[in-house]
Chains A and B, each alone.
Chain A
Amino acid sequence: MMDGETVPTARTEPAGIRFEEVSVAYGASTVLDRFDLEVRRGEVMALLGPSGSGKTTALRAVAGFVRPSRGRVHLAGRDVTGLAPHLRGVGMVVQSYALFPHMRVEQNVAFGLKARKAPRREIPGRVAEALEMTGMGGYAGRYPRELSGGQQQRVALARALAIRPDVLLLDEPLSALDAQLRSGMLAELARLHRELPDVTMLYVTHDQVEALTLADRIAVLKDARLVDCGAPAELYRSPRTEFTASFVGGANLLPARGAGDGGALFGGARLRAAEDAPEGPVTLCVRPHLVALGGAGGNELRGSLLTAQWRGSVHRLFVDVGGHEVRADVAELRDPPRPGEEVRLTFSPEDTVLLPPGEPGAVAPRPAEDAEKSGARTPAEVAGG
Chain B
Amino acid sequence: MLVHSRGARAALHAVFFALFLPVFALPFAVVLAASFAGNWSGALPSSWTLDNYSAAVSGDSLQALNTSLVTAAVASAAALIAGTWAALAAQRLGRRARTAVDAVFMLPVAVPSVVVGLALLVAFSAPPLLLNGTRWIVMLAHAVLVTAFAYQSLTAALARLDPAYEQAAAGLGGRPGYVLWKVKLPLLLPSLGAAAGLCFALSMGELSATMMLYPPDWLPLPVRIFASTDRGALYTGAALAVLLMAATLAALVLLSRVRSRAEQR
Contacts and interface: CB of A to CB of B under 8 A. Distances in A.
Residue from A100, A115, A163 with most neighbouring chain B CB atoms (10 Å): A115
A115 B172 contact: yes
B112 interface: no
Contact of A96 (B162, B172, B179, B262): B162
Contact of B172 (A64, A84, A102, A163): A163
Interface in B149-201: 162, 164-165, 167-176, 178-179, 182-183, 186-187, 189
Contact of A98 (B162, B173, B182): B162
A376 B183 CA distance: 37
B169 A94 contact: no
Contacts of A236: none
Interface residues of B, number: 22
Contact of B164 (A98, A102, A115): A98
Contacts of B265: 101-102, 143
B167 A86 contact: no
Contacts of A10: 173
A101 B189 CA distance: 12
A86 B183 contact: no
Contact of B170 (A85, A100, A102, A159): A85
A310 interface: no
A163 B172 CA distance: 7
A101 B187 contact: yes
A379 interface: no
Nearest to B164: A98
A86 B165 contact: no
What 5 pairs between A and B have smallest CB-CB spacing? A112-B172, A98-B164, A115-B174, A98-B168, A85-B170
Given A116-B172, A163-B172, 5 more contacts: A63-B171, A86-B170, A98-B167, A100-B187, A112-B173
26 contacts: A10-B173, A64-B170, A85-B171, A86-B172, A86-B173, A86-B174, A86-B176, A87-B173, A89-B173, A91-B171, A92-B167, A94-B167, A96-B162, A102-B187, A102-B265, A111-B172, A111-B182, A112-B172, A115-B169, A115-B179, A115-B182, A116-B173, A159-B168, A159-B172, A160-B172, A169-B171
Interface of B: 162, 164-165, 167-176, 178-179, 182-183, 186-187, 189, 262, 265
